Structure 1
Amino acid sequence: MAPTEIDAAVHRQLGELVAGMRALQESFRRLEEGAVRSEDKAATSRAAVHQRMDQLVDRVGHVEASVATIGEDVSEMKPVTDDVKRWKLMGIGALGVTGIAAMALGVSFAEAIRRIVFVILGKV
């Protein structure tokens, strides 16, 4: 090979190397931009997750406070409910006693009327 042919081949190879290096640099630049975009998206996503987590913590706190308030209300209502149940049972018992007494009185009254009718009719 002649020296000019060698120079041309070397220049061509150097040109190919430079082009390859530029292509690699462009690939690295695109990868870096993609990584930056990906990191930005991940940061945004994490921020949204943290915000939702904070909202959940607030909501759970409100639910706990509501449950505590309801528990206090129920504990205040329990004695009243027990009293009402006791009154109901006492009322049912009183109605039962009254019913038995009324039945006994009715039977006694019927028997008294029967005896009066027998006396009037003379069937003693």
Structure 2
Amino acid sequence: MNYHLGKWTPQQCIDFLVDRVGFERANAEAEVRRSFTGGYGPLYQIGYMLGGLQFRALHNELVQSGKMTNIEFHNRILYENNMPVEMVRALLTNQRLPENFSTRWKFAGDIN
């Protein structure tokens, strides 16, 4: 977002990914190049961040609480494949969903 707000250069973004996030330099360069020359808008990366926050919350709910091990959690995530995190949560917690199910996932600060 700092790039899109005009605060950082692409090189500063690469350095941040390497120094603060732990990317290897070549991967950071490829990610920055893809993000800035691929025609993606600034909200594209936010989608990944929201998914990451959802998986972190699910990890806390299931692994930190002792209901699953890290290996069980990661294996189930990979096994279930590509679907909304709330659906993965329903599978991992054996939640029965009604036919007319609608999402109820909440983020910090959501009301209702």
TM-score, with structure 2 as normaliser: 0.24
Higher-RCO chain (CA-CA 8 Å, sequence separation at least 6): 2
Q: Which has the larger radius of gyration?
A: 1
